Amino acid sequence: MPDMLVPLYRSGEWKDRKAALAENGIAIRNAIAPERAPVVKWIYERFGDRWASEAECAFSKTPTTILVAQRGAEMLGFACFDTTALGFFGPTGVDEKQEGQGIGTALLIETLKAMQARGYAYGVIGGAGPVGFYERVVNAIAIPDSVPGIYADILRLPQDAE
Ligand SMILES: CC(C)(COP(=O)(O)OP(=O)(O)OC[C@H]1O[C@@H](n2cnc3c(N)ncnc32)[C@H](O)[C@@H]1OP(=O)(O)O)[C@@H](O)C(=O)NCCC(=O)NCCS
């Protein structure tokens, strides 16, 4: 899984999905501190303790660096930035039952726009799983020789939930 580079200054070319989702009752917004415990639990249950740990990091700042997708009070997905490294996008995930509605695309675009607003010219997708998804949605390109990248010496403990 390579890291991928995204030119944030080309955000004007990305197809906005947020408005279309809003018409279907799905909102994308920054998560706030009181949501920390339930949101981290939601992530832990679906995606394991490494991503939950990164979400904890995203919640440790004000404003937070985690966006959520919700329908009413129901959480549908999330995306983080500036967790494992500054300028990194991720992790991100959508509830399995909610995939394919454009939620992952909207979370990706809104989070990258938040990074651009912080002053970054480029974003890095750390350890990109669905490479084709990132290529297609935001013109990301794989960074040569980026495996295993920053995760090379990560501890793998017996209690890892992944
Ligand atoms: C990747 C993910 C966030 C996409 O969320 P989503 O809400 O289903 O995404 P969208 O509905 O906006 O877009 C889905 C599109 O991406 C495509 N896609 C999904 N996974 C893909 C992959 N691995 N490779 C290429 N395309 C992929 C779908 O086929 C779909 O294409 P379509 O628009 O032509 O139908 C979601 O599948 C997910 O949570 N996956 C598990 C966690 C994960 O891998 N996170 C990324 C870590 S870097």
pLDDT digits (tens, 9 = 90+) for 107-122: 999 999 999 999 999 9
Compute the distance between CA of residue 116 and CA of residue 7 in angstroms, rounded to an integer.
9
Residues of the chain with pLDDT > 70: what percent? 98
Higher pLDDT, 158 or 110: 110
Q: Give the three-state DSSP class for 31.
A: coil
Using an 8 Å Cβ cutoff, are 115 and 106 in contact? Answer: no
pLDDT band for 157, please (50, 70, 90 cuts).
Answer: confident
- pTM for this model (two decimals): 0.95
Q: What is the layout of strands, in order, in the sheet containing 122-125?
A: 26-30, 66-71, 74-81, 88-94, 122-125, 4-7, 141-142
Q: Cβ(130) to ligand 1 under 6 A?
A: yes
Q: Regarding the domain with residue range 4-153, which homologous superfamily does it belong to in the CATH classification?
A: Gcn5-related N-acetyltransferase (GNAT) (3.40.630.30)
Beta bridge partners of 75: 70
Q: Which tokens hold the place of 65?
A: 């660096």
pLDDT in tens, 88-100: 999 999 999 999 9
Does 138 have pLDDT greater than 60? yes
The preferred substitution site among 45, 133, 147, 162 for testing ligand 1, maximizing ligand atoms within 8 Å of CB, is 133
Chain centroid to Cα 77, Å, comes to 9
Q: Cβ(45) to ligand 1 under 6 A?
A: no
